[in-house]
Structure formats: structure tokens, C-alpha cells
Structure 1
Amino acid sequence: MSEPDDRPRNVFVLGMTDLQREELGSMRRAARYRFRSLLDYHTLVRDTEYDFDALLDEARAELADFSGPIDAIVSHWDFPSSLLAPILSHEHGIPAPSVTSMLKCEHKYWSRLEQQQSVPEVVPGFAAFDPFADDALDQVRLPFPFWVKPVKSHSSNLGFEIHDEQEFESALEEIRAEITDVGDAFNQVLDRVDLPESLRGVDGNTCLAEEVITGIQAAPEGVVARGRVSVHGIVDMHRDPSGHSIDHLDYPAVTVPAEVQRRMVDTAERFMRHIGYDDGAFNVEYMWNREADLLRLIEVNTRISQSHTELFLKVDGTSNHEVAIDVALGEAPRMPRRQGRFAVAGQWHIFHDADAVVRGVPGEEDLAALERAVPDTKVTLQVAPGDRLSDLPHQDSYRFKLGSVYLGADDHDQLADRFRQALGLLPFELDPVTDPVTEEAAG
């Protein structure tokens, strides 16, 4: 009879940051694990150009140099990390979704085609188009306004709301200049699977046009483990007044009625089963129009959200990393409910609307003062002194993000008050940038 294996499990985390390491250490059973970074954050997240095959080989080499057992490989970032993880997991016998099922979520046009087959009632109007074609606008059979975005991109980068032909042409200029940074690497993954005839010519450098949808945004997050779908929380996603950017996240969701939340979960489950997605985490973003009672699916993400981690920790008492690791280890996912310090939690973004050069950011003393004033508050900075905002990678197409604040509170009003208090304690020094071309035109 073999002895029980009580050794700590080696969990490799793609692009692990200091904040993630801290969050992982806060898990209820953290002592069971040894967390090890695989590749680095800047290579996987901050860089703007990728060679997927080269990154895969680099990760393989790091794992080969490790002398112990490789028990789990997890990722909480977008592409390329999201697709490196399942490929590496399969090579080491670790449970993970198939690459094909991942691509049916991550390739935005392919995902829409699969959604049409399985959950057509939540799919907005859409069309694929070649941004390099002379007749690109003719390929979009949607009335103005509509959204355009690459079939694969980072966050809201290269996403534009289009109201007329002039705006479409202006968006194409930016898209053509940058789409291949991610698109070429995404094509390296597409080459690994058999694509359906419906995707002929629709590669990683293609764009998607979609009907503009409005309403209240929310996202269920969960896992599929050995064929069983479970949702451990639903997060409210609040847009800024323009409707272009996510302004802040709240957990647990309260803006959407329970019956609509059930529809969200049901739709997510039907879609995941349809594409054969198993042994992985997910979160699905929806928009609900209250007046028309119209539910629309925005996109399916193939991971837990790093933005949600602090929220679950503050409200439920442990990081959502826990269920992702459970699944990767082949164990039943276990997530506590409402055992945290706070009744509600939020992630609030700090934005700047115009281009600028960063001269100063909050320092250690500022962060310590914030912690004293608003306990258990976390801050992540996206900028450093000397940065020009327009040069930063993976930024929203409409605003520049300076950082994010994670807070807990007794209710949503207190949460908003605490963010305003935090904002007043976080000094950023920004020098405006004058565009010489604009200045000449004005003269």
C-alpha cells in the first residue's frame, strides 16, 4: 500500500506579480502549495509584440529545468498566457481545457458563430471584416453606430465606437498600425487546430464589427471541473458616462435582478457545454437592458479575472485563485461564501483623459497614509515617472489608466465614499503634452 503524498504541490503561475503572490498566500490552504512564477509579467503582459512559439519554448525550458514534480500550471492573464497554460498543462498531464475550446472563446468571431448555434437569444448583430481591405466598410452589414475591435486584442485596446465613415477610416489607421502585434502571435495558435470552413480567411488580424448594446453590465465567474459547471460569484461592471470604458467593479452584483442573474448563468453553462470546455475557469460578460429586458453576451474569458481576486478575498474570505488551482490539481473546486471582512468590495480605476508625461506617482509614504485612513486598501500603479501615457501598452482606446484601487466597505455608498477619500490621498503629477500638429493647425 503506497504512502499518502503529503508533500506541498508545486503550482506554476504564468507572469506572477507581487500582488498575486500576496493574494495566493492568503488562500485558506496556502501552506499546501509552493507558488512558482513561470515567465515574467513584463514579457507576458506589458510587452506589445509577441512570438507565441518562442514564449512556449521559453516556458518549456523553465519547466524542464525544474527538478521537482510539476503539479499545476495556471494563468490569470489574457493572451498569450491564457493559451500557453493549457498547452503546457496537456504536455505535463495536468487537467486543462482543449485548445480548440479555448479558441472558441478567445477568437471573437469564432465565439460569435458558436454562440449563434447554442445561445442565439443573447447574440448581438455582428460581422467580420478585413481591416486591410479597400472595401472594409462594405463588409460590415450593420447600421451606424457599431463597435469595431480585433478578433483578438488586449482589454479594450483597438476597440472603437463608430458613428460614420470618417470615424471608421480613422479607426482603421490605428488598427492597421497595431493589430499584428497580437494578431500574428494568435495566428501561431490558430495553426495548431483544425479550423472550420466558416473561419477561412478570418485570422488573428481580422476585425469584428458588432451592434452597439446598452444597459447594465455584469459578469458571472466560475469553473468547469470534470464536466460540472459552477459559478462562485457575479460582479457588477460599471461603465463611465460615455459608455466606452469600465469605470469600476463591485462585488457582489446588485444591479441585476436574481432572475436575470440566473439567465446569465444558464446561458454561460449552455455555451460552455456546447463548445466542450472542461477543466478550466471562465468569466462571461453580459449587458442587460432593463427597459427591454434584453440580455446580450459581450464576451467569454477563459480564466478567472485578476481584477476580481481582491473582491472575492474581501467579501468571501479567500482568493478566486483557489478554485483555479483546485481544477488544475484535479480536485473539486471549493469556494467559501461571505466569510470575508467586508459586505461589499470594489475595484476602482484611476483614469486620465488626455495625453501627458508622468512626473510623479504615489510613493510608499502616500500608500502607508492611505492604509491608515482606509484599512485593507490595495493600490496597483500602471505608470511610473517618465512614462508618456500615449506610449503605454494595451491602453483603452479612449482613456489612459494610471492605476487601480481595491477597497472593501459595509455598503456601496460607503465604498464610493472610500474611493473618493483614497483618490485624494494618491498624488499623481502629470505634465500635459501639446501636439505640435494641433498647435500648427490652431495657429
Structure 2
Amino acid sequence: MADRTRTATRPSAGTNEAADARTREKNVFVVGLDDANLPTLRAARGGEHIRFHPLLGIDRLQHGEVSVAELRAEAEEILDGFDEPIDAIVGYWDFPVSTLVPLLAERYGTRATSLDSVVKCEHKYWSRLEQAAVVDDHPRFGQVDLGADEPLPPEGMNFPMWVKPALSYSSELAFGVGNQEEFAAAVARIRDGVARVGRPFEYILDQVSTPPEMAGVGGQVCLAEETMTGVQAAVEGYVHDGEVTVYGVLDSINYPDSSSFLRHQYPSRLPEDVIRRLHDISGRVMRRIGMEGATFSIEYFYDPETGDIGLLEINPRHSQSHAELFEYVDGVPNHHVMLGLALGTDHTMPFREGEYAMAAKWYYRRFSDAAVHEVPTPADIARIEMDIPGVRIDVRPHEGERLGELPEQDSYSYEVAHIFTGGRDEDELREKYDRVVAALDLDFAEPVGGTSTGTGTSTSTSTSTD
């Protein structure tokens, strides 16, 4: 695969092109640009000198079964019709955005990591093979035969375990199972749904060279992994000139007795020696993956009782979910790193230059389906944000929409709202969250198929793993 770290070379009209290039606004195309992230992108250092151009809408990219070839052709038509320099092409979503960025970068001469390195992260089975070559910090894993009449767990693996497709959106079709009956039911659901993402991903697999261990392994693959225990953490970093830099570690805290996130919290409260180990493991893995000139995020489990660390998954992009948290604590969103690497400008993150000592992204959820009535208007949300400093709110459903119809949900819950809070300590983060939930005053119709297991207020965190 060709190196994709060269700068844009598209010529532009005019005799003073070199001088103009130093002073003009930069043109950055964002694959899947959404309204929620546009102001955050502009908050990155130098963002006021960048013109952000949308390249394919997020609905177009992640709803239904996509055609990567068609998306690629549509994006190229837009870019070919642009008559100014293209300085960068970026994205902060998973497949197909993560794979379109290097494909387009190769054609238009912009900076990006290789397609190979992205696929080694995105394809969960290939990623496990790469991890196993350099670290022991991963669960036992193996393929599940989706074509078997009576599918069985991989030999030598024990319950409880997770079964999941090789590729999915937001933990879609990922199931925790504790016995053979649950395993068979989960595999049946994966078999029925794996093609939606797996079939388009095979277009990408055809673009890269795979190792012998991947012979016959396509995109429509089911993976089983033994369950890891402990507290969850996320590591964010980047690779530049072969050097791996970690710029932040966050805690990921679930609802009690659930695999669904309650909140991400920054900075992490893990012991310093554990954070150093996370840095070391991340460095070894990302050097093995071969990423260059790009951001990444890695999810881990840490067991305080045994000291064990388990690598859950690697994402070949930073997390847009964490952008406001870094802005609250460090002074700029993590989008700053992505933009700096793509433009060849300053990409280093400041440290603790933000307004708050801590920040959290809360997931206000329901655990059964319902319809939402009287969704707050933008003016209502703006008023709540003004009344409670250090708060940002993103309500997910539209008025009357069923939660079960929302895209990008995990297998066990429905996201009602994302609530970002900044504060001096964890108590203030929780207090602001509770105030926002009360102020939103969302009205739900009778749940379909049972009673909701909770409203998502922070009182439910008392038995969580934080």
C-alpha cells in the first residue's frame, strides 16, 4: 500500500500561490460532518482559520446497508468538483468513514494513515491476531461457524463470553452469553444481521493484503471472546513519525449490572502505575498495527483485584464522544490532534488548560422501548445550558420517535440524551447531570415489552464499578 503522508498538491489559479497558501483559510473536508461536532471542530486551535466542508452526511453513511463503492464515487465527484486546494480529508466515525478517509487521501494527496492499518483495527478478528503477536493483554478468542446447524464456542473457551460480528456499529449485535442456550440464540441473531455491515466491509478487504492467518476470513464473521472483568478505561493517542503518544486516559463507567455505559469521565482515577502500563501496551500494539500520522483510541479492562489488564478493542480514530471532555479539562477538544496531523500543523495537546478539573459524558438511557413526547426545543436546551454552567446537551430522539427506531444503539438499551458536564470534582459532575435530567423533564409513552429498569439518573451509580 502506498504511503499516504504527503501533503496536498492540487494546483490553484494565481501567480502568488505559495504566499497565498501560507495565509489563506485551509479547506478541510470532513467525512460524516454532523451539526453536533461542527462547533467543537471550530474550537480546536487554529479552527478559526479552517473552512470545514461536509463530505457525505452521517445518515447516508451509517443507516441501512451501505455501498462503499458508491460512497467512494459520490465523495470523489464532490471533491473533483471543488475548485480550490484540498488541504485535508478527515473523519471521526467508524466504518465506513474510517476506511473512506485513507482511500480518498491516496487519490487526493492528503495526509492519512494506511488503509491496511485501519482495517487491522476495524476487523476484530484480524485485530486480535495482531494484538496476540505483541501482548498477552487480551482475552482468549476464536471464530464461530455461522453456517453450522448447531454452532459451538471455539475449542478451549469457557462461558461467560461475548459473541459479536467482526465489524459492527456501537456494539450492535454484540451479546454477552453465559451458557450454550444463550450462545445459540445470540449466534442466530448475528447470522441474521451480520451482512448489513459485513458485506460492505468485504469491499474494503479486497483493497488490502491479508496475512495467511486471514485466509478465507471475510467480513461476515462471528467472533467469540471470553469475558473480561474489572473497571473499563479508554486510552486516546496518536502516532507521528513512528512515535506513539498517549494524551489522555478516561474511565468508562457502566450502569449497575449492565454492559451499557453510564458515563465517560476524564481524567482517569486509575493508579499511576496502571496508567503507565496502559501507555506501554498501547505503544506496542499501535507500532505493530503500523498506524502513522493519525489518532487512535483503545478500550481496556483493569481488574483491581488481580492487577490484570485486558485489551477490549482498538479504534482507528479518536473518540468524538470525548471531544468536549478534553475541551473542558485541557482547553481544546481532541479534534485538535486529528486536524493538526492532517494539516501538518501543531498537533500537540495542551495539558490541564481548561476551565474544569474534571469532565464527564453521561448517557441518559432507557432499558425498554418507548416513544418520547414534548422533546425540548433548541431554545429550551440553550436555556438549560445557560442556567447550569459547564453543561452541553444532545437529545437523541425527535418528538414522537420510538427509541427502538434510533440507529447506533447497543444490544441492551436506548440512548435518550448525551449530557456533558464539567466541574471541580465528581460530586459536581453528578449534581449537574441530575439537574439536567430533571430540567429536560422528558415524557415517555408506556414502554413496549416491559417496564423500564431505570431513568438513568446518577443515583443508580452507587453499585457500579467506579
Taking structure 1 as the reference length, the TM-score comes to: 0.94
Q: How far apart are the structure 2 equivalents of 1:308 and 1:140?
A: 38
Matching residue of 1:440: none
Find the counterpart in structure 2 of residue 20 from structure 1: 37
Number of matched pairs: 433
Aligned to 2:464: none
Give me the whole-angstrom Cα distance separating, in 1, the residues matched to 2:273 and 2:337: 25
Counterpart of 1:354 (choices 359, 368, 380) is: 368
Q: Cα–Cα, structure 1 residues 366 and 31, in superposed 2: closer, same or farther, change >3 Å? A: closer
Q: Which runs of 5+ in 1 are unaligned?
A: 437-443
Aligned-pair CA distance for 1:191:
0.8
Matched letter for residue 107 of structure 1: H
**Which stretch of the first structure deviates more once superposed, 423-432 or 282-291?**
423-432
Q: Which amino acid aligns with 2:368?
A: A
Q: Cα offset for 1:335? A: 1.4
Give the aligned partner of residue 417 of structure 1. Answer: 431
C-alpha spacing 1:33/1:149, structure 2 compared with 1 (3 Å): same
Q: Is 1:321–2:335 an aligned residue pair?
A: yes
Which deviations, in whole Å up to 9, do the C-alpha atoms of 1:27-84 show, x marking residues without a partner?
Answer: 2212221111111121123x13111111111111111111111111111111110111
Query: CA RMSD for the aligned pairs?
Result: 1.7
Task: Check whether the contact 1:360–1:430 (CA below 8 A) recurs between aligned residues.
Answer: no
Choose which of 31, 44, 48 in structure 1 pairs with 2:64: 48
2:10 corresponds to which residue?
A: none
Determine the C-alpha separation between the residues in 1 that align with 2:448 and 2:341. 51
Provide the rounded CA distance (Å) in 2 between the counterparts of 1:176 and 1:382: 29
Aligned to 2:441: 427
Task: Give CA-to-partner distance per residue, 1:75-101, whole Å, 9 cap, x none.
Answer: 111111011111111211122111111
| Paired residue secondary structure (1:18) | coil
Q: Distance in 1 between matches of 2:219 and 2:311?
A: 21
1:234 aligns with 2:249: yes
Alignment equivalent of 1:115, drawn from 117, 131, 140: 131
**Residues 297 and 26 of structure 1, relative CA distance in 2, 3 Å threshold:** same
Letter of the structure 2 residue corresponding to residue 13 of structure 1: V
Matches within 5 A, 1:374-385: 374-385=388-399
Match runs of 1:227-306 below 5 Å: 227-254=242-269, 256-306=270-320
User: Does 2:324 match 1:310?
Assistant: yes
For 1:382-393, list aligned pairs within 5 A: 382-393=396-407
Out of 184, 196, 211, the residue aligned to residue 181 of structure 1 is: 196
What is aligned with 1:124?
Answer: 139
Q: Compute the displacement of 1:314 (Å).
A: 0.8
Does 1:93 find its partner at 2:109? Answer: yes
In structure 1, the partner of 2:207 is 192
Displacement of 1:140 after TM fit? 5.3
Give the aligned partner of residue 223 of structure 1.
238
Asked if the contact 1:147–1:209 (Cα under 8 Å) also holds between the matched residues in 2, the reply is yes
Output the amino acid matched with 1:37. P
Q: Which moved more, 1:68-77 or 1:22-31?
A: 22-31
Give the counterpart of 1:165 among 148, 157, 180.
180
1:365 to 1:96, Cα distance in 2 relative to 1, 3 A: closer
Secondary structure of the corresponding residue to residue 214 of structure 1: coil
**Whole-Å Cα distance in 1 between the matches of residues 88 and 326 of structure 2?**
22
Q: Secondary structure at 1:350's aligned position in 2?
A: strand
Give CA deviations for 1:136-164 in whole Å, capped at 9, x if unaligned: 21545411111111110011111111111
Contact 2:153 2:224 in 1 (8 A): no
CA distance in 2, matches of 1:43, 1:376: 32
Alpha-carbon distance in structure 2 between the residues aligned to 1:136 and 1:379? 44
Give how far 1:366 is off.
3.1
In the alignment, the residues of structure 2 paired with residue 279 and residue 159 of structure 1 have an alpha-carbon distance, to the nearest angstrom, of 30
Structure 1 residue 117: deviation in Å? 0.5
Whether the 8 Å contact between 1:225 and 1:333 is mirrored in structure 2 is: no
CA distance in structure 1 between the aligned counterparts of 2:213 and 2:346, rounded to whole angstroms: 37
Q: d(CA) in 2 for partners of 1:273 and 1:261? A: 18
Is the CA contact (8 Å cut-off) linking 1:126 and 1:211 kept in structure 2? Answer: yes
C-alpha deviations, 1:185-221, integer Å up to 9, x for none? 1111001112222112321111111111111111111
Task: Note the alpha carbon deviations across 1:156-186, whole angstroms, 9 max, x for none.
Answer: 1111111112212221232122211111111
1:57 aligns with 2:77: no
Contact 1:48 1:394 in 2 (8 A): no
Kindly indicate whether the alpha-carbon contact (under 8 Å) linking 2:325 and 2:360 is maintained by their aligned counterparts in 1. yes
Q: Show the counterpart of 1:369.
A: 383
Stretches of structure 2 that go unaligned for 5 or more consecutive residues are 1-15, 451-466
Q: Percent identity?
A: 39
Offset at residue 365 of structure 1 (A) = 4.3
Q: Provide the rounded CA distance (Å) in 2 between the counterparts of 1:161 and 1:333.
A: 38
Contact in 2 for aligned 1:15/1:39 (Cα 8 Å)? yes
**For the Cα contact (< 8 Å) 2:251–2:268, is it kept in 1?**
yes
Q: Mean Cα displacement is larger for which, 289-298 or 7-16?
A: 7-16
* 1:77 and 2:96 are equivalent in the alignment: no
Q: Deviations over 1:249-288 (max 9, x none)?
A: 111111x111111111111111111121111110111110
Q: In the alignment, residue 41 of structure 1 is paired with which amino acid?
A: I
**Counterparts of 1:330 and 1:27 in 2: how far apart (Å)?**
14
Task: Verify: 1:37 aligned to 2:37, yes or no.
Answer: no
Structure 1 residues 275-303: Cα deviation after superposition (integer angstroms, max 9, x where no partner): 21111110111110011000110111111
Deviation above 3 Å: which 4+ runs of structure 1? Answer: 1-4, 138-141, 433-436
Whole-Å separation in 1 of the counterparts to 2:360 and 2:262: 11
Does the C-alpha gap of structure 1 residues 420 and 140 become closer, same or farther in structure 2, counting only changes over 3 Å? Answer: farther
